[in-house]
Structure formats: structure tokens, C-alpha cells
Amino acid sequence: MREISYAEAVRETLRQQMLADDKIFLIGEDVGLYGGAFGVSIGLFAEFGENKIMDTPISEQGIVGVAIGTALLGMRPVVEMMFSDFTMLPLEQIANQAGKMRYMFGGKAKVPMVIRTPGGGGIGMAAQHSQSIEGLFLGLPGIKIVIPSTPYDVKGLLSTSIKDDNPVLFFEHKLLYPIKGQVPEEPYEIPLGVADIKREGKDLTVIATSFMVQKTLKVAEKLSAEGISIEVVDPRTIKPLDMDLIAASVKKTGKTVLVEEACYTGGFTCFLASEIYKNCFDSLDAPIERVTGLDCPIPYEHNLENAVIPDEAKIEQAVKTVLGIIK
């Protein structure tokens, strides 16, 4: 099978879906001639024109407002929010309008829209452009949250998200864009709420999200040389969450480490740890360990930024701590 990058997989999905359905369009800042802040939409404007690839003024509230309105009228907008940090600007519209309208109108109104947005740090974009805030949206009813870690997953999950009749927040880590992987050329879909075992193992389960999946796989490969067998689970969507697969993996190994880039306090893994204790308490042979970002803004300076974001050494240390190899 051919290999393409994560960014190419997103672009290909948008193109294929727009060719298949005239109701789908892309809207956001610099998505047209410029090709998007990270080059994801390069070439789409030339092919589809300004009626399908819509450049907007710098107004996140305006962009999301247009998306909600057109979705209510039967269109399927795909918003590109330049940085995930900026989703806090239209938060009222996302939480109180997009997320609640289907419920408030008894199912007669639908809001089939996707907000694609790059998150995470690691490229020196400082405190206001580097956050991992997907966990902030967990408590908002009516919104689905997708966070793919591979080129294969991003194509299948984006295809499904575009066809969903509910608003979907779709987080794409900046450092994943250049990563390549095997991706079928034809369209395909991956159901939301279905996790994936990225690596089979028997000694301990690591549940990781987004770019942390890539780091965890490197740790698992390294530890295999030491005779340690790590199972790596990627939830892929954190709402809905595939607790059945996660619980089955944790019950199999009896030990688990949870890894995310977001801050320690209030992140997705806080909720996940609670659910694991609820579903797997009798099967756990050791306390759960969490590896997260620090509770501070992301620094601009390279070395400080790296110190705040989880790395392979911290993941390895957590694994060996839970296994009792180190204290």
C-alpha cells in the first residue's frame, strides 16, 4: 500500500468528500490561496473555487456562526480553526448552540459540522498557540471529540465525522502532519467510538492520545529489547469513548499508564483513570500512573518547551515504576 503523510491524508479526504457531496465545503482563515496555516488545503482552492473553499476574516466567532447556520440549513461545513487554542473564542456558539440545538428542537434540527484544528506544542509557537485543550470539551453534551494519531486513522475518522449529523471537534496535532503511513487511496470510514490497539502486549497497557501515541510506540519498541511487552491503546475518539476495548486491555495486563500532552490537572486522563478504576479495579495489580504536560503555559524557548511536554523518557519511567522495576 502507498504511504502518504498525515496532512496529505486530510487533504485527500476533504477532496474526496467534496467531490462526492456538493453540501460539503471548507471554511476558515487562509484556507484558500494560501492553503491553510499548515498547508493542509493546498491545491483545493484551484480545484473547487471560492464557493467551496471559503477564506474568511479573522473572526472565529463569525466562522463558527456561519458554519452553524449553514449546517442547520442542510449543508455540511468543515471549519479549519487555525489553532486549537482559538476554539475558546467561539466557545459559547460551540457549547450552547451547535451542541444543544438538536436536543432543544427534538431532533428536527441537525448541526452536521466539523471543526478541524491543529493542537499541541513542540514547534516553538509559545503559550497561546501550543495548547492541548481537547479535554476541556468533555463536559459539553452534544459534541463529539476525535483525535487521530496516524495518517490511516485521520482519513477514516474525518470521513466519518463529515457524514455525522452532530458537531465534531477534530484535533490534529501539528507534529503529526509530516508523519507518513499506509493509507488506502479509495474512501473509507472508521466508526467514532472505536479504539485501536496499536501494539499488542502482555505486561502493561499504555493508553495514549494524539502525538503521544507515536512517542509511546517508540518506548514500547525500546522496552521490547529488555523483555518488557507493552500494549499500546489509542482511543482515537475521546467522546464517544470505547471503554470496552480499554477495559479489556487493562484487565489483560493488570497494569496501566495513561499518557496525554494536556496539563496534569483536569485533562482527559483524569476522567479516564476514574473510568478504569470503576471498570477494572479488581484486575489492577498496581496504581494507575499518568504522564502529562505540566500545569503551566507552554514556553517559547525550545528547551523549556520540551521540559513541559511529556517525552519518551518520562513515559518509560512511568512504565517501569508501575512494573516495579524502579521506585
Distances (CA, A) of 209 to 30, 291, 317: 28, 11, 18
Selection from 147, 136, 43, 141 nearest residue 95 by Cα: 141
φ, ψ of residue 214 to 5 degrees: the values are -65, -40
Selection from 221, 199, 228, 209 nearest residue 269 by Cα: 209
Give one DSSP letter per residue of 228-266, joined into a string: --EEEEE-SEEES--HHHHHHHHHHHS-EEEEEEEESTT
Is 173 part of the annotated catalytic residue set?
A: no
Amino acid at site 101:
M
Give one DSSP letter per residue of 173-229, joined into a string: EGGGTT-EEE--SS-----TT--EEEE--SSEEEEE-THHHHHHHHHHHHHHTTT--
φ, ψ of residue 113 to 5 degrees: the values are -135, 150
CB 179 within 8 A of CB 151: yes
Amino acid at site 274:
S
φ, ψ of residue 105 to 5 degrees: the values are -105, 20
CB 71 within 8 A of CB 165: no
Pick the catalytic residue: 76, 129, 173, 239? 129
Amino acid at site 28:
G
SS3 category, 198: strand
Give catalytic residues, as residue numbers: 129
